[in-house]
Structure 1
């Protein structure tokens, strides 16, 4: 399986060649793949002698990406007058609203999207490959097409993005040989899976362990044990904070339970808004449920937002989950 074809490569090169400077942005509430995709693309532009600005609306909640926050601007700054043709790269998402409010300032610019999410709309200009397990691997392959060597630093960044979006390879199957071939090249350049795993799983505040115990205690099973869900209140957030939330550990604990096919966690973010994260196994497509609430993501890992309270959101999610769980 090839995540890039000649037409995609040529369209990418044409976009770079036809612009003088670039903005690069990923989605709000960034994860490792969004950050790595942005940084990897920035390296391509650096080696192509093209000026750029890295943008991210934040917040940088995850401990493993916090160190990169200082490299990103919250809002775009104007380029000098000598740069008459400015382009806008959007990575790891395809919707302007997911980028953040500053995207409105850039919507008149030529744009090029690089993404791998199945819930992304058809794009006019860019590369969308839902078979790719991470946007980072698409950009890695672009990098390798144009440049014959890679620094240890950039190899580490690409591997970090791939590892975070594949759950450190847990979500890959027998069709994923291309991924492991790409990863082996990154390791040859000096990227360390061991260090990345430690970065992904370590450094969590002690309070996050307390919060995990509360969410575990609240968990309920339904649909003959096939679905587990729990929730986090505003009071929980005030007491234990948002820093270093370990959602992945929570999902892993629930998904390891016998008969469980799907998990969702709802959080009350403000008095009027909630978010939900979904995980599933095999062919159970939770992106269908997320899309019902304007969200999206992957077949087995998606998210959504909702205006209202936890209880109402959970009830509506359960109705939608009943349509996909037999």
Structure 2
């Protein structure tokens, strides 16, 4: 099985090195693909760039292999990813007669993360997880293609494209570039590796235009998003030590600006960017006395461990969970837990 990820040049040069374990996982998944016909691809709710990009690229890969594919997410494609090919095929309801053979879950490894509403007809006889998160449910899937060292799930889908021998065309390349660009903060975060840059280079060779991607994803904001951001930044508060920053997003903010949660992506990074802040926390109202909590760390604190204590998960520097209570109660509870982690 060809695991060298070059689209040209000297085939003896392994541009994107892999491990035996990951190669075996990929080979098992490719065997499943060969043996089945009808696939559903899905990612976590409130999808980000890696979730959308990996879902689309995986689905396009399967279609290139002659398979029938249902592209699904509980939530609609965010406005800034709608330009990607396949985005218009994404559905928020699984057809009653879907008759799925294989369900491919991307960018998460726990069934609850794709939504409690996920219908029975969406599950195939085989479940495959393709993911790079640290937290996972080892009993969930039949096959796992996992690498916690990957900067994005899109890196793993890229490996699948290469291993399957499918041409890396522009639509697939753009979806994969969306994954790696967004999950590395435009190649600024500590998860950015030499492998990430090598893959990005291969995607550019396949036709990706970096400015086109940047323009669509980061510089096509509706003015309502900036109005919402202004309200959210007004909630900024700090712990007594100054190392923790908190933002709150309440339903009334959406109502007053005519917006929704899909426009809040990246708000938390404003809090983390403040000098002296080690961990930024964002609380978003999810239901009555239920808040969706996001964490971003500068590196000293493994926020995935904190999120796991509240039933969530994620990465060392980015994680999340849902917590019941008032926002004040949650801030106090998290402040105590975060200060303990900082002082370890």
| Fold shared per TM-score above 0.5 | yes
- Residue number in structure 1 paired with 2:14: none
- The equivalent position to 1:294 in structure 2, one of 311, 320, 323, is 311
Structure 1: 5+ residue runs without aligned partners? none
Give the corresponding residue for 2:155: 137
Map of 2:112 onto structure 1: 97
Is residue 88 of structure 1 aligned with residue 88 of structure 2?
no
> Which residue matches 1:157?
175
Matched, 1:112 2:128: yes
In structure 2, the CA distance between the partners of 1:262 and 1:27, relative to structure 1 (3 Å rule), is same
Equivalent position of 1:70 in the other structure = 88
- Give how far 1:295 is off: 1.6
Alignment of 1:1-326 (within 5 A): 2=18, 5-60=22-77, 62-67=78-83, 69-77=87-95, 86-100=101-115, 101-107=117-123, 109-122=125-138, 124-147=142-165, 149-172=167-190, 176-240=193-257, 241-242=259-260, 245-248=263-266, 250-326=267-343
Residue 59 to residue 310, structure 1, CA distance change in 2 (3 Å): farther
CA contact (8 A) 1:287 1:300 kept: yes
Give the TM-score taking structure 1 as reference length. 0.90
**CA offsets 1:273-319 (integer angstroms, 9 cap, x no match):** 21111111124211122222222221111121123332222222222
Secondary structure of the structure 2 residue equivalent to 1:16: helix
Equivalent-residue separation in structure 1 for 2:51 and 2:262 (angstroms): 17
The alpha-carbon deviation at position 148 of structure 1 amounts to 5.6
Q: How many residues align?
A: 320
Structure 2 counterpart SS, 1:322:
helix
**CA distance, structure 1, for counterparts of residue 313 and residue 23 of structure 2:** 29
| Residues 267, 310 of structure 1: 8 Å contact kept | no
TM-fit CA distance, 1:227: 0.9
How far the C-alpha of 1:99 sits from its partner, in A, is 1.2
Unaligned runs of 5+ in 2: 1-16
- Per-residue deviation, 1:243: 6.2
Q: Residues of 2 paired with 1:257 and 1:293: CA distance?
A: 26
Residue 138 of structure 1: how far off its partner (Å): 0.4
CA drift at 1:323 = 2.3
CA distance 1:307–1:103, shift in 2 (3 Å)? farther
* Residues 6 and 270 of structure 1: CA distance in aligned 2, closer, same or farther (over 3 Å): closer
Question: What SS does the corresponding residue of 2:340 show, helix, strand or coil?
Answer: coil
Shift of residue 69, structure 1, vs aligned partner: 4.8
Structure 1 residues 153 and 108, CA gap change in structure 2 (3 angstroms): closer
Change in CA separation of 1:36 and 1:247 when aligned onto 2, cut-off 3 Å: closer
Whether the aligned pair in 2 keeps the contact of 1:91 and 1:113 (CA below 8 Å) is yes
Deviation at 1:322, TM superposition (A): 2.1
State the superposition RMSD in angstroms.
Answer: 2.3
CA distance in 2, matches of 1:96, 1:263: 27
The 3 A distance-change label for structure 1 pair 155 and 69 is closer
